[in-house]
Amino acid sequence: MGFDQTKQPQAVRYLPVTCEAEGDDDAGELEFSVDCPRRGRLGVEECLECSHSGRLRHHGRRGPLVLECTLEKRPREG
């Protein structure tokens, strides 16, 4: 069994993670969400459960927090 070179690596897109405070006080919890290309705004936990989800990481050395996603883009119609 050799290495199968016919498989093309999946393109990875980096979805920015946004953070919003829940509640009006300073002690409120933080809610982290991602804008999924197909399902809209989701919580990070929901997005991580998707089979297309990858790692949660910083984009670049000190860049923003992003979630890797291998979901293919839908072709535009029209």
Query: Quick check: helix, strand or coil at residue 46?
Result: helix
pLDDT digits (tens, 9 = 90+) for 9-22: 568 888 899 988 87
Helix (H) or strand (E) holding 15: strand 13-21
Q: How many CB atoms lie within 10 A of CB 67?
A: 23
Query: Quick check: 37 and 71 in contact, CB under 8 A?
Result: yes
Question: Which stretches in the chain have pLDDT values below 70?
Answer: 1-10, 24-27, 73-78
Give the pLDDT confidence score for residue 71 in this predicted structure. Answer: 80
The whole-model pTM stands at 0.65
